[in-house]
Amino acid sequence: MNSMTAAVERLSDIRKRITEAAREAGRDPQSVRLIAVSKTFDVPHIVPVIEAGQRLFGENRVQEAKAKWPDLKAQFPDLELHLVGALQSNKAKEAVQLFDAIHSIDRPKIARVVADEMDKQGRKLKLFIQVNTGEEPQKAGVMPGELEDLVRYCREELRIDLAGLMCIPPVDEEPAVHFAFLAKRAEELGLKELSMGMSADFETAIAFGADYVRVGSAIFGER
Ligand SMILES: *Cc1c(COP(=O)(O)O)cnc(C)c1O
- pLDDT 10s per residue in the chain (223 long)? 577 789 999 999 999 999 999 999 999 999 999 999 999 999 999 999 999 999 999 999 999 999 999 999 999 999 999 999 999 999 999 999 999 999 999 999 999 999 999 999 999 999 999 999 999 999 999 999 999 999 999 999 999 999 999 999 999 999 999 999 999 999 999 999 999 999 999 999 999 999 999 999 999 999 9
Q: Which residues pair with 162 in a beta bridge?
A: none
pLDDT at 5: 85
- Single out the residue of 199, 130, 209, 194 nearest to residue 171, CA to CA: 199
pLDDT at 181: 98
Check pocket membership of 218 for ligand 1, CB cut-off 6 A. Answer: yes
Amino acid at 117: E
Based on the number of CB atoms within 10 Å of its own CB, is 215 exposed (0-12), middle (13-18) or buried (19 or more)?
A: buried
Mutational pocket test of ligand 1: of 49, 60, 171, the residue with most ligand atoms within 8 Å of the beta carbon: 60
Cα–Cα distance list, 117 to 43, 91, 114, 120, 122 (Å): 28, 11, 5, 5, 8
Check pocket membership of 40 for ligand 1, CB cut-off 6 A. Answer: no
Mutational pocket test of ligand 1: of 64, 84, 104, the residue with most ligand atoms within 8 Å of the beta carbon: 84
Amino acid at 10: R
Helix (H) / strand (E) containing 178: helix 175-189
Check pocket membership of 60 for ligand 1, CB cut-off 6 A. Answer: yes
Cα–Cα distance list, 39 to 32, 60, 119, 139, 170 (Å): 21, 6, 28, 18, 20
CA distance 67 to 115: 24
pLDDT at 1: 56
- Single out the residue of 199, 178, 154 nearest to residue 17, CA to CA: 199
CA distance 193 to 212: 8
